[in-house]
Structures are given as structure tokens and as C-alpha cells.
Structure 1
Amino acid sequence: MADDNMFSVYGRMTALPGRRDELIALLLDGFRAGGDDSGLLTYSINTAFDDPDTVWLTQLWIDKEAHDATTRSEPVAAVTRQLPPLLARQPEGFYGHAVHVHDRTTE
């Protein structure tokens, strides 16, 4: 399953030493601020075994327009403005279209 319009986001954020859990909590606040009808289909927040300060994000949206509208909304922007004091460096993001999506929970 994949719709030609599905939009994917992959990102990496590096927290200041010892601030990773605060960063994760703030990211969760941001996802919640977007609301249930934002067009965000699924997301994951991941940590690496060998890097205690790095957080990887994966998001799947119904389309780029839903992503843009949600991330520019005031509730999400208010959370986003709180991120910089927790970061050791500028976040990195990569964007694309989902080619294949498989949801094992619906089998």
C-alpha cells in the first residue's frame, strides 16, 4: 500500500549531553499538538544504541500539504520554538514519497 501523494520525513536531532529525554518529551508534545486529524498517519521516535544523545524521527503523512499545514500551525510552531535550547546542533531532515507501506496490524 502506498499512495503517490504519501509524504515521508526522516530526521535526526542531537540533544545536548544529558537532555535527550527532554527532547523526546518535547517531540511527543509536538506530535500531540498537531491533533488527530492532522494527516499524520504514523511516526516513530528512535534512539541509537551507540549514541545516547541522538534521536531519529520517522513520519508518514497523507501528503506534503498536510505536513506543511500542521507543522506551520501555531500549536506545533509553539512547541518547535522550544527545541533549540535542547539541541547540540542544527536538526537534519530528509523528505520523500513513500513507495511502499505495509501495516502488519491490519493482517
Structure 2
Amino acid sequence: MPNGNMFSVYGRMTALPGRRDELAALLVEGLRAGGEDSGLLAYTVNTALDDPDTVWLTQLWVDKDAHDATTRSEPVAAVSRRVPPLLARQPEGCYGHAVHVHCPG
């Protein structure tokens, strides 16, 4: 696992009622659109146990430049443009730097 300046993204999205699974599938499609060598180390799309409309997204990148280049690429941007019509409200989230990463082997 690379060390140093890893960049992280945490987000919460609230789908329109009954559209959560469609939103989650679209987020996975966006991951695939970024390609294998994008600098993305980990990507999780999680559904909330206590809210049938909430999706949590977590990303870990080698650095911010890799994140910016990938998310601004046309294949990822094309998928991202399909997200807003599925949302009940603006996404919430934050950016950071990973302090510790452990992947049991």
C-alpha cells in the first residue's frame, strides 16, 4: 500500500425514495469508468442499515492529483452527470489525507 500523501473522500448521498439501488449501481459504474490505472486504491459504496435511501461512498487515492485527473475525465464525468436526477438533496462529504491504512493480508 502506498504511503505518504494518500487522498481520501467520504460522502453521503440521499437518493429519491426507491432509487437507492440505482444510485449505488451508478456509483459503481463511475468507478469502472475511471479505469484500472487511475490511482484509486480503495472504493466502497455502502448502503445504510437504518435509512433505505442513504448511500455512503468512501474513496482512497494515491494522491489528490490522481483523484482530480480521474474525476475530471470524460468517462467519469459522463457517469457523474447522471447522478443528480437520482438525489433527494445535495450530497454531503469531505476530503482528507489518510493517516493510517491497514489491509490485512
Instruction: State the TM-score, normalized to the length of structure 1.
Output: 0.94
Instruction: Check the 8 A contact 1:9/1:94 in 2, yes or no.
Output: yes
Q: Secondary structure, in 3 states, of the residue corresponding to 1:18? A: coil
* Code of the aligned partner of 1:20: R
Instruction: Check the 8 A contact 1:11/1:57 in 2, yes or no.
Output: yes
Instruction: Check the 8 A contact 2:2/2:62 in 1, yes or no.
Output: no
Aligned to 1:41: 41
How many residues of Structure 1 are paired with residues of Structure 2 in the alignment?
A: 105
Unaligned residue ranges in structure 2 (runs of 5+) = none
Aligned to 1:18: 18
Instruction: Check the 8 A contact 1:10/1:95 in 2, yes or no.
Output: yes
Identity %: 80
Deviation at 1:4, TM superposition (A): 2.2
Unaligned residue ranges in structure 1 (runs of 5+) = none
1:55-87 deviations in whole A, cap 9, x for unaligned? Answer: 001110000000000000000000000001100
Q: Secondary structure, in 3 states, of the residue corresponding to 1:51? A: coil
Instruction: Give the alignment of 1:1-107 within 5 angstroms.
Output: 3-104=3-104, 106=105
Q: Secondary structure, in 3 states, of the residue corresponding to 1:55? A: strand
| Aligned equivalents of 2:2, 2:31: Cα separation in 1 | 22
| Aligned equivalents of 2:79, 2:63: Cα separation in 1 | 22
The CA RMSD measured in Å over matched residues stands at: 1.0
| Aligned equivalents of 2:3, 2:95: Cα separation in 1 | 15
Runs of 4+ in 1 over 3 A off after TM superposition: none
Deviation at 1:2, TM superposition (A): 6.1
Instruction: Check the 8 A contact 1:45/1:55 in 2, yes or no.
Output: yes
| Aligned equivalents of 2:47, 2:23: Cα separation in 1 | 11
